Amino acid sequence: MTFKDRFDAGVKLSEVFEFPENSVIFAIPRGGVPVGYAIAKTKKIPMDLIVVRKLPIPGNPEAGFGAINMDARAILNPAFDALFSQIPVEEIAKDVLNEVLRRNDLYRNSRGYSSLKGKTAIVVDDGFASGYSAIAAYEYLKKLHPDKIIAIAPVCPKETKKMLENYFDEVYCLIESENKPFAVANFYDDFHDLSDDEVIDMLYDLRKENLLHE
């Protein structure tokens, strides 16, 4: 099974996943935004962004050794323990944090988050690979005191889903893959790198339809 693009993946997710009442979607930019956007439009659920970003391995930027959130909280993957003494972890984290804050400023005008008490936070991405971006999102959102935090994506490895279940109240992936090596891009016909303008256009459209959670 493959998806035409991220919008198609979001529509397919919205058709099968039962969203609790008082849900708020928190899409991980950039790739998670069209997935969350399609769900928000289809199910009329408000959406916001949760800006986190993977920490790339030098020389292999598609791979990450963890992720960082807007609190500067770096979540490191212990599978790379042997690598940490060989790479400038703090320098990489600082550079990535600057990009996280830039995106939060550009996409959200650096506005704060309101309490999520009485609501369910739904973390959405175009796929969970290692899962550490989702964990970084979880660590940020839990301080807003939602009743539940759920993670959903079109695709993820089975082992990643199992790992994420140690954090989230529920984890759902439309496709649970056993492929090794795993790559989210392999499940999409169109998996282009989104631009800032594409993200901003989707947020603008959600605001017009009163579907932007602010």
- Which tens digit of pLDDT belongs to each residue from 138-152? 999 999 999 999 999
Report the pLDDT averaged over residues 50-59. 93
Mean pLDDT of the chain: 96
Return the CATH number of the domain spanning residue range 6-208. 3.40.50.2020
Residue 63 pLDDT > 90: no
> Phi/psi at 99 (nearest 5 deg)?
-70, -40
Q: What is the pLDDT of residue 180?
A: 83
Give the count of beta carbons closer than 10 Å to the beta carbon of residue 18.
6
Q: What is the pLDDT of residue 68?
A: 98
- Which tens digit of pLDDT belongs to each residue from 79-119? 899 888 889 999 999 999 999 999 999 999 999 999 999 99
Q: What is the pLDDT of residue 120?
A: 98
Q: What is the pLDDT of residue 1?
A: 78
Q: What is the pLDDT of residue 206?
A: 98
Structure pTM? 0.95
Residue 15 pLDDT > 90: yes
Q: What is the pLDDT of residue 129?
A: 94
The residues near 149 (Cβ < 8 Å, ≥ 6 apart) are 120, 121, 123, 138, 141, 142, 167, 168, 169
Residue 61 pLDDT > 80: no
